[in-house]
Amino acid sequence: MILLNSSIVFPHPESNHDHDVLAVGGDLSIERLLLAYHYGIFPWFAEGDPIMWWSPRERYVLAPSEVKVSKSMRNIINRGIYRYTFDTAFVDVIKACSYIKRQGQLEDRGWLSEDMIDAYLSLHELGYAHSVEVWNQEDELVGGLYGVTIGKCFIGESMFSKASNASKFGFISLCQHLDKQGLKLVDGQIHNDHLESLGFDFMDRSDFMAFMRSNVMESLTF
């Protein structure tokens, strides 16, 4: 694990053979975040702790065209219980996500600090970070997710749900949209049961790095 300073550099992810945490420290500047995401590195840390930069040995990924839609979810989609929008309430979505405890988080502290929220708002304003909003029939925000698009990869950061299957509806809608736009991969970063139910599977870090090298140069319209 490398301790970062003010220089906008990272060790190469594949030099971190036996660990998932690549580096500690640095800052959340736009320049550093964009460099990180281009190499498949992402920040994840509890509020009050040093910034920790992750490059998991196994990524949890999904091709948008292969998202699993269960019979019950098809019923929900067909009944029109929810509707979705893109990038209409980014602030509301990321703040709602900040209250969700992430799998693997050991302490009862938020993982989305104000500095993190501000950083992703800046990425959103630059067209890199995007949100999906899920609304019920009373036009209440009941679910959503946000992430970062780099080239042909959507890197999911977090999702939330205040109503049954709302986040699944939002994610399935996102995958259908990404598939039409020509994006090739959704990166869920690490395993959890929710993503597994949607069809995600593991990819070795070396294969993920090869994908990023081949697909980050051409950015597609979200």
Q: Does residue 88 sit in the same domain as residue 25?
A: no
Q: Does residue 51 sit in the same domain as residue 64?
A: no
Tally of domains in the chain: 2
Assess if residue 178 is contained within a domain. Answer: yes
Q: Does residue 39 sit in the same domain as residue 66?
A: no
Q: Could you give the CA distance from residue 180 to residue 208 in angstroms, rounded to a whole number?
A: 22
Assess if residue 220 is contained within a domain. Answer: no
Residue 33 · residue 4 · CB < 8 Å: no
Q: Does residue 97 sit in the same domain as residue 172?
A: yes
Q: Tokens for 170?
A: 């939002």
- The pLDDT assigned to 180 comes to 95
Assess if residue 221 is contained within a domain. Answer: no
Q: Does residue 80 sit in the same domain as residue 161?
A: yes
- The pLDDT assigned to 107 comes to 39
User: How far, in Å, are 58, 103, 114, 145, 193 from residue 100 at the CA level?
Assistant: 23, 9, 15, 11, 15
Q: Does residue 31 sit in the same domain as residue 68?
A: no
Boundary residue ending a domain (56, 75, 95): 56
Assess if residue 222 is contained within a domain. Answer: no
- The pLDDT assigned to 162 comes to 95
Model-level pTM? 0.90
Q: What is the pLDDT along the chain (222 residues), one digit of tens a residue?
A: 788 988 999 998 888 778 899 999 999 999 999 999 999 999 998 888 899 999 999 999 999 999 999 999 999 999 999 999 999 999 999 999 988 765 543 334 456 888 999 999 999 999 999 999 999 999 999 999 999 999 999 999 999 999 999 999 999 999 999 999 999 999 999 999 999 999 999 999 999 999 998 887 554 455
Q: Which residues pair with 202 in a beta bridge?
A: 60
Q: Tokens for 42?
A: 């992402």
Q: Does residue 50 sit in the same domain as residue 66?
A: no
- The pLDDT assigned to 46 comes to 83
- The pLDDT assigned to 222 comes to 52
Residue 162 · residue 138 · CB < 8 Å: no
Q: What residues contact residue 164 under an 8 Å CB cut-off, 6+ apart?
A: none
| Long-range contacts at 175-183 (CB < 8 A, ≥ 24 apart) | 175/62, 175/64, 175/65, 175/67, 176/64, 176/67, 177/86, 178/64, 178/154, 179/64, 179/65, 181/220, 181/221, 181/222, 182/152, 182/220, 183/64, 183/149, 183/152, 183/153, 183/154, 183/220
Q: Computed from CA positions of residues 13, 52, 172, 74, in that sequence, does the dihedral angle turn out positive or negative?
A: positive
Q: Which domain holds residue 150?
A: 59-215
Q: What residues contact residue 214 under an 8 Å CB cut-off, 6+ apart?
A: none
Q: Does residue 63 sit in the same domain as residue 106?
A: yes
